[in-house]
Amino acid sequence: MTGAVLDRRKLVGVLGLLGSEHDGEIAAAGRAANAMLQKVGISWADVIAPDGPEAAPINLDGLIRFCFDWGNALTVWERDFLRSVERQRHRLSDKQTATLIQIADRVRACADVWVE
């Protein structure tokens, strides 16, 4: 994983084009969606994972690294939380995973603003 995070909102927008009446738009949307996944180094199984123990894992280490790369966007609590889960030896709880994803989404939004 490159540390990049999938822009899920953009992916949803691209996938919405699969309902087009124009075959060319459908093909272009499929290729664009696939390219988005390849760019961040994940598969469709990572995006469309079944619920339960067989769910494809999220690259938590990649999310943590991404957040620390944009450390200026982190609050003190978020930084402490990330250090805590980074050291954790057992599987993260669903709540911890959801919190990590929320932090990464917020940091990504800040990074997008700073880069533009």
| pLDDT tens-digit readout, 75-115 | 999 999 999 999 988 888 888 888 998 898 888 888 765 54
Question: pTM score > 0.75 for this model?
Answer: no
- Same domain for 64 and 36: no
Do 64 and 82 touch, CB atoms closer than 8 A?
Answer: yes
| pLDDT tens-digit readout, 63-76 | 888 888 888 889 99
Evaluate whether residue 52 is within a structural domain: no
Tell me the three-class secondary structure of 67-97, residue by residue. HHHCHHHCCHHHHHHHHHHHHCCCCCCHHHH
Please report the pLDDT score of residue 109 as a whole number. Answer: 82
Q: How many domains does the chain have?
A: 2
Evaluate whether residue 69 is within a structural domain: yes
- Same domain for 68 and 30: no
Look up the domain containing 15 and give its range.
Answer: 8-47
Evaluate whether residue 55 is within a structural domain: no
- DSSP annotation of 19 reads G
Please report the pLDDT score of residue 106 as a whole number. Answer: 85
